[in-house]
């Protein structure tokens, strides 16, 4: 079996919450990550933005706290999502979240 697990920390840049037609609660955020990492023995600045999806009852208690400017750590799995424009992107589906602020 293959492994698909990602841990990412960052600051929420955008957020929205909604319920699916089936009544499942979803929160979708854009997470901005900035850090420094070593690569080939050289320190480099790392920056990325990734969409994170929180689905189901387990996240309803924190959905009100997932607002712009909040620092979080998210654990979950990544999956390919195709947008309405046909562009593919990787999306992080949250399995656990920890508020850092």
| 8 A C-beta contact, residue 14 and residue 29 | yes
What tokens appear for 2 in the block?
């293959």
* Residue 28: closest CA among 6, 13, 42: 13
Q: Which residue has the tokens 């901005």?
A: 32
- pTM comes to 0.91
Q: What is the pLDDT of residues 60-100, one digit of tens each?
A: 888 889 999 999 999 999 999 998 898 999 999 999 999 99
What is the structure's pLDDT at 83? 82
Per-residue model confidence (pLDDT) at position 30: 97
pLDDT value at residue 84? 85
pLDDT of residue 63: 87
- State pLDDT tens for residues 2-54: 999 999 999 999 999 999 999 999 999 999 999 999 999 999 999 999 999 99
């Amino acid at each position: 079996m293959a492994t698909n697990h990602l841990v990412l920390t960052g600051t929420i840049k955008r957020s929205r919450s909604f319920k699916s037609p089936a009544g499942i609660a979803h929160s979708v955020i854009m997470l901005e990550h900035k850090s420094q990492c070593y690569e080939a023995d050289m320190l480099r600045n790392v920056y990325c933005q990734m969409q994170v999806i929180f689905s189901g009852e387990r996240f309803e208690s924190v959905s009100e706290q997932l607002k712009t400017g909040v620092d979080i750590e998210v654990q979950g799995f990544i999956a390919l999502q195709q947008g309405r424009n046909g562009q593919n992107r990787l999306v992080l589906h949250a399995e656990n979240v920890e508020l850092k602020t």
